């Protein structure tokens, strides 16, 4: 059964459970065995809760689309009583929750079997997963000298390595799409508020953050989004209704679209040649599918830098709020948090209430600028990142200068210049595994559409997957095992 497990996505495994060809306990045994075999090289799976998983199976799993399928939750958010968390931080190590979040309850209702959490950078800061609480970095299964991304880096590594077919993530500035690009996976960020945030939060990071999933197949992503979408009770706002389900959208080709691509960042910055090659190959594919393909020209300065600086202020204030809430008035031992987190707290102290409100206003103003830029464009195609996956240590979170770490030369925004744009605008965006570099590292392609057009974006993704399937490439890693650098 282990050989079969490694050749199936979550939907395929669920079909085996439904017919009785596999049992939830049997699949959990395999997932635990693979964790023992593959996780030591990755450092991606933490807080294993086998007893909780076995108890859930014994008590009777819900009859959802993923009944009996082993699953992993990010070690940040997805609050659940039975699953302790570190939030990626020594300061929060082994913290427990007194309630179950709505996103967790919806995931549980699919019938999946959660048995552990996956690593995250401290409080979700950064495009890599290298937090001291895990005693080492999380590594990329395609080449362990490279990062699996962040902040859902543990989920990306675990799914790409075949430990589980799908895992939970969250995305406040690319944290699902960055590991999807780095690990050769599907990472879909839906429109703002498409997924629930409650009960304890109305929104995350000024409306920029949202949950999501890392999967190897598009149909798993579609089914998970269908199962979890919709506002929770008391949500302050909701995404526009969709004309059909994600699964229905995935199965039908879109009408011819006006596709626009970019060979630079949206500020005119340079991209790695492999990233340009990924965009060109995708543009050629889309033209062959009947879409109108042209270079992107917004016609005015989007002023991405202003939005990025505003977002840096919002994240700094959110980080300080989390740390101060945990301390409850007690003094902070600076060795308990990363340098970047110390820097965020120090920077937040310089941000006034008026500064914070101005930053939120700038983020929403940027969303309006992006909407104007896409009036004559149905889908924008870029690489997900400006370069292939970084080497481990390149973005180590030990820089006490928070602004420099994120906005400075060689910083986070140079490496990830596209993803946060669509957290700010709230638009749906996806990273698809459509390119691998000459040295066999994944290079994701990023596609984004207008606010609320999740179904149209999913239809385009389905058309692309049918025309240029990526499953066999992923299987070369899943079946061959982690590749050490």
Structure tokens at 374: 């896409």
Burial class (CB in 10 A: 0-12, 13-18, 19+), 112: buried
- The question of whether 151 is a catalytic residue gets the answer yes
Contact assessment for residue 475 and residue 263, using Cβ atoms and an 8 Å cutoff: no
The catalytic residue among 8, 67, 74, 189 is 74
Element spanning 455, H or E: helix 454-467
Give me the helices (H) in 289-338, please. Answer: 304-327
Q: State how far the Cα of 54 lies from the Cα of 49, in Å rounded to an integer.
A: 9
The DSSP symbol for 133 reads G
Reduced to 3 states (helix: H, G, I; strand: E, B; else coil), residue 463 is helix
Let me know if 181 is a catalytic residue. no
405 vs 93: CA distance, rounded Å? 24
Cβ neighbourhood burial of 385 (10 Å; 0-12, 13-18, 19+): buried
Catalytic entry in 89, 120, 148, 151: 151
Which one is catalytic: 175, 322, 425, 431? Answer: 175
Q: Which residue has the tokens 């570099």?
A: 437
Q: Which residues contact 135 (CB under 8 A, 6 or more apart)?
A: 43
CA distance 46 to 54: 17
The CA distance from 89 to 119, in Å, is 10
431 is catalytic: no
Please name which of 433, 428, 341 lies closest in space to residue 389, comparing C-alpha atoms. 433
Q: What are the catalytic residues? A: 74, 151, 175
């Amino acid at each position: 059964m282990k050989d079969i497990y490694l050749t199936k996505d979550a939907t395929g495994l669920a079909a085996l459970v439904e017919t009785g060809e596999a049992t939830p306990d049997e699949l959990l045994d395999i997932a635990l065995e693979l964790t023992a075999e593959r996780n030591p090289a990755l450092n991606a799976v933490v807080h294993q809760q086998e007893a909780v998983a076995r108890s859930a199976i014994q008590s009777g799993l819900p009859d959802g689309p993923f009944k009996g399928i082993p699953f992993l939750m990010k070690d940040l958010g997805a609050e659940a009583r039975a699953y302790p968390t570190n939030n990626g931080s020594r300061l929060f190590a082994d913290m427990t929750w007194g309630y179950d979040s709505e996103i967790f309850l919806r995931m549980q209702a699919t019938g999946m079997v959660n048995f552990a959490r996956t690593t995250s950078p401290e409080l979700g800061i950064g495009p890599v997963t290298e937090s001291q609480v895990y005693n080492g970095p999380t590594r990329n299964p395609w080449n362990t000298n490279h990062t699996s991304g962040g902040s859902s880096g543990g989920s990306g590594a675990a799914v790409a390595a075949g430990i589980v077919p799908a895992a939970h993530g969250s995305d406040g500035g690319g944290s699902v799409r960055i590991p999807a690009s780095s690990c050769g996976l599907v990472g879909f960020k839906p429109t703002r508020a498409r997924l629930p945030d409650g009960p304890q939060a109305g929104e995350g990071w000024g409306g920029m953050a949202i949950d999501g999933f890392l999967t190897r197949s598009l149909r798993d992503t579609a089914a998970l989004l269908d199962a979890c979408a919709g506002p929770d009770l008391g949500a302050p706002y909701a995404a526009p209704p969709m004309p059909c389900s994600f699964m229905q959208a995935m199965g039908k080709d879109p009408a011819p679209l006006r596709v626009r691509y970019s060979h630079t960042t949206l500020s005119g910055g340079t991209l790695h040649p492999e990233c340009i090659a990924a965009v060109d190959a995708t543009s050629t594919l889309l033209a062959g599918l009947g879409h109108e393909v042209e270079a992107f020209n917004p016609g005015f300065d989007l002023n991405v830098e202003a939005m990025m600086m505003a977002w840096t202020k919002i994240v700094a204030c959110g980080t300080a709020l989390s740390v101060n809430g945990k301390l409850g008035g007690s003094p902070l031992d600076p060795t308990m948090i990363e340098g970047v987190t110390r820097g965020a707290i120090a920077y937040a102290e310089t941000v006034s209430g008026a500064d914070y409100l101005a930053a939120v206003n700038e983020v929403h103003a940027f969303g309006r600028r992006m909407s104007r830029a896409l009036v004559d464009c149905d889908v924008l195609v870029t690489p997900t990142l400006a370069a292939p996956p970084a080497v481990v240590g390149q973005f180590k979170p030990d820089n006490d200068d928070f602004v420099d770490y994120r906005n400075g030369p060689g910083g986070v925004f140079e490496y990830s210049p596209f993803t946060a744009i669509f957290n700010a605008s709230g638009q749906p965006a996806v990273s698809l595994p459509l390119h691998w570099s000459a040295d066999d590292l994944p290079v994701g392609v990023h596609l984004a559409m207008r606010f609320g057009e999740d179904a149209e974006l999913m239809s385009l993704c389905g058309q692309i997957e049918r025309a240029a399937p990526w499953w066999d490439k992923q299987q070369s890693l899943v079946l061959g095992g982690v590749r050490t650098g």
